[in-house]
């Protein structure tokens, strides 16, 4: 059944009245509660910022508490109140709703509760709809901090089906909530399943990668990466993020190795001027580009093999590894536990962790024949492609389900005479 047919069946000819929020309930401001007031146990409490960061659409338990003495001075939400964070740094989040299904809870300033006789989750879903968002936008004030006042919220119109028959109205609201909750649950279930699948595939990939790159002593030579005839490490340098331009000479900034690049790359994300590039250290095709600093031990020495057609500039806090091995083979080796174990002994620094080029040169790498390196790379490329396709597909699939929920939510709130909401 389509959403439109479902809506027609739900309404079954009943009247729908577009009512001002001020006509169906009252807004009550929170007061006096700050994060520093939280204690280990006591009276349940909600800070407005947590509505953005900790809560979903509805909740029946708080994450924090305040002392009973302070709670006596604070405004409190009760079951079926709609809690609203009324300030935000962006227009989309301001007036984010939380349907409160629990016992009494103290609420902070910069939020308010809406007390009413409707289905609270019906209201929460409506507050996320495009119909509500369109009305809200004209009442937002403030520059850096965006806010909507209770007097303006009171003017916003909401569709109330069968408003002269509260019992039937609540039954219709409950059915709409059931449908929308089922979409939310399906999205959550799909997210959990795909995340578990991704985790399993990554573990499988990591296991095979480590197995393929583990050689018994005497099976192949394990040579220092900086040994003559094996390779040499060269520090990058001479450009910064502020030097990026739309087109020009390709470049890799060390920070991009964490955020943008995978095992290998044949195109750069950014460019610098040809004039600046002449002063920079460069990686040639087949070289590795390695981030030599990070805020954590795991990421330091993350590497990308440059397999593009021309040379590229490399920033400071990175180094270039010029070598005579299969570039992807070396890049995969940098991901193995064997490399990580050796790397850890050379990490220095407190807040910023780093490994210098001289230390990298001492790390031992197994050096099988070129044919064996190519065979290993061919196998790992297949695993890498499979894992990447799941990694990229996961957010796409979740986004699709979220859009499906939003479509049906907005459709289910598109009651007759929606133009009345703008009057």
In tens digits, the chain (423 residues) has pLDDT values of 444 566 666 666 678 899 999 999 999 999 989 999 999 999 999 999 999 999 999 999 999 999 999 999 999 999 999 999 999 999 999 999 999 999 999 999 999 999 999 999 999 999 999 999 999 999 999 989 999 999 999 999 999 998 999 999 999 999 999 989 988 888 888 888 878 887 888 888 899 999 999 988 788 999 999 999 999 999 998 899 999 999 999 999 999 999 999 999 999 999 999 999 999 999 999 999 999 999 999 999 999 999 999 999 999 999 999 999 999 999 999 999 999 999 999 999 988 999 999 999 999 999 999 999 999 999 999 888 877 777 777 778 778 888 888 888 888 887 765 454 444
199 in a structural domain: no
Q: Are residues 152 and 21 part of one domain?
A: yes
Q: Token pair 């059931």 is at which residue?
A: 178
What Å distances lie between residue 406 and 66, 126, 162, 226, CA to CA?
Answer: 36, 11, 24, 56
List CB contacts of 182: < 8 A, sequence separation 6 or more: none
pLDDT at 411: 83
Q: In CATH, what number is assigned to the domain containing residue 62?
A: 3.90.220.20
The per-residue DSSP string of 199-253 comes to HHHHHHHHHHHHHHT---BTTBEEEETTSTTTEEEEE--S--GGG-BSSSEEEE-
Q: Are residues 156 and 22 part of one domain?
A: yes
| Domain end (from 342, 367, 392) | 367
Query: Residue 291 in 3-state DSSP?
Result: strand
Q: How many CB atoms lie within 10 A of CB 321?
A: 27
* Positive or negative torsion for Cα 231, 355, 272, 239: negative
Q: Are residues 339 and 220 part of one domain?
A: yes
Distance from C-alpha of 366 to C-alpha of 213, rounded to nearest angstrom: 8
- To which H or E segment does residue 147 belong? strand 146-147
Q: Are residues 226 and 155 part of one domain?
A: no
260 in a structural domain: yes
412 in a structural domain: no
| Domain end (from 330, 351, 367) | 367
Query: Residue 113 in 3-state DSSP?
Result: strand
Q: Are residues 48 and 148 part of one domain?
A: yes
Q: Are residues 91 and 154 part of one domain?
A: yes
Q: Which two three-digit tokens encode residue 304?
A: 């990308």
**This prediction's pTM:** 0.66
C-alpha 211, offset from chain centre? 32
Q: Are residues 240 and 145 part of one domain?
A: no
- Cβ atoms of residues 200 and 387 within 8 Å: no
Buried/exposed 118-136: b ≥16 CB within 10 Å, e otherwise: bbbbbbbbbbbbebbeebb
Q: How many residues does the chain have?
A: 423
Residue 293 belongs to what domain range? 216-367
384 in a structural domain: no
What angle in degrees, to the nearest 10, is found between the helix axes of 370-412 and 130-137? 80
295 in a structural domain: yes
Q: Are residues 358 and 227 part of one domain?
A: yes
| Domain end (from 162, 181, 204) | 162
Distance from C-alpha of 98 to C-alpha of 110, rounded to nearest angstrom: 14
Q: Are residues 131 and 60 part of one domain?
A: yes
For 77, phi and psi rounded to 5 degrees? -85, 150
C-alpha 55, offset from chain centre? 15
C-alpha 64, offset from chain centre? 24
Query: Residue 160 in 3-state DSSP?
Result: strand
348 in a structural domain: yes
pLDDT at 94: 94
Q: Are residues 243 and 343 part of one domain?
A: yes
- Cβ atoms of residues 304 and 262 within 8 Å: yes
Neighbour-count burial of 225, counting CB atoms closer than 10 A to its CB (0-12 exposed, 13-18 middle, 19+ buried): buried
Q: Token pair 């907005």 is at which residue?
A: 410
Q: Are residues 223 and 152 part of one domain?
A: no
> How many separate domains does the chain show?
2
Distance from C-alpha of 45 to C-alpha of 109, rounded to nearest angstrom: 12
pLDDT at 8: 67
- Cβ atoms of residues 282 and 314 within 8 Å: yes
Distance from C-alpha of 126 to C-alpha of 412, rounded to nearest angstrom: 9
154 in a structural domain: yes
209 in a structural domain: no
């Amino acid at each position: 059944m389509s959403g439109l047919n479902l809506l027609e069946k739900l309404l079954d000819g009943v009247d729908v009245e577009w009512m001002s929020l001020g006509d169906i309930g009252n807004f009550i401001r929170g007061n006096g509660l700050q994060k520093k007031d939280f204690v280990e146990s006591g009276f349940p409490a909600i800070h407005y910022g947590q509505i953005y960061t900790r809560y979903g659409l509805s909740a029946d338990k708080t994450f924090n508490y305040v002392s009973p003495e302070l709670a006596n001075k604070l405004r409190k939400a009760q079951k079926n109140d709609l809690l609203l964070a009324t300030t935000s740094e962006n227009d989309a989040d301001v007036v984010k709703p939380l349907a409160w299904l629990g016992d009494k809870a103290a609420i902070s300033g910069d939020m308010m509760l809406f007390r009413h006789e409707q289905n609270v989750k019906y209201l929460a879903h409506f507050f996320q709809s495009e119909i509500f968002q369109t009305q809200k936008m004209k009442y937002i004030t403030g520059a850096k901090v965006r806010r909507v006042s209770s007097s303006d919220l009171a003017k916003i119109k909401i569709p109330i089906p069968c408003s002269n028959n509260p019992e039937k109205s609540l039954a219709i609201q409950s059915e709409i909530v059931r449908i929308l909750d089922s979409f939310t649950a399906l999205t959550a279930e799909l997210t959990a399943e795909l995340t578990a699948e991704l985790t399993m595939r990554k573990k499988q990939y990591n296991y095979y990668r480590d197995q393929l790159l583990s050689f018994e002593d005497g099976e192949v030579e394990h040579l220092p990466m900086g040994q003559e005839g094996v390779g040499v490490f060269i520090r990058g340098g001479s450009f910064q993020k502020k030097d990026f331009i739309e087109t020009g000479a390709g470049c890799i900034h060390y920070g991009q190795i964490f955020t943008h690049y995978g095992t290998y790359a044949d195109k750069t994300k950014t460019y610098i001027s040809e004039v600046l590039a002449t002063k920079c250290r460069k990686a040639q095709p087949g070289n590795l580009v390695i981030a030599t600093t990070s805020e954590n031990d795991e990421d330091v020495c993350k590497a990308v093999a440059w397999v593009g057609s021309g040379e590229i500039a490399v920033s400071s806090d990175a180094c270039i590894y010029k070598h005579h091995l299969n570039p992807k083979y070396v890049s995969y080796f940098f991901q193995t536990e064997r490399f990580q174990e050796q790397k850890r002994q050379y990490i220095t620094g407190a807040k910023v962790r780093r490994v210098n080029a001289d230390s990298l040169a001492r790390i031992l790498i197994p050096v099988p024949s070129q044919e064996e390196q190519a065979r290993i790379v061919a196998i790992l490329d297949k695993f890498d492609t499979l894992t990447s396709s799941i990694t990229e597909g996961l957010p796409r699939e979740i986004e699709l389900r979220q859009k499906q929920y939003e479509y049906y939510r907005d459709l289910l709130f598109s009651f007759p005479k929606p133009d009345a909401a703008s009057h």
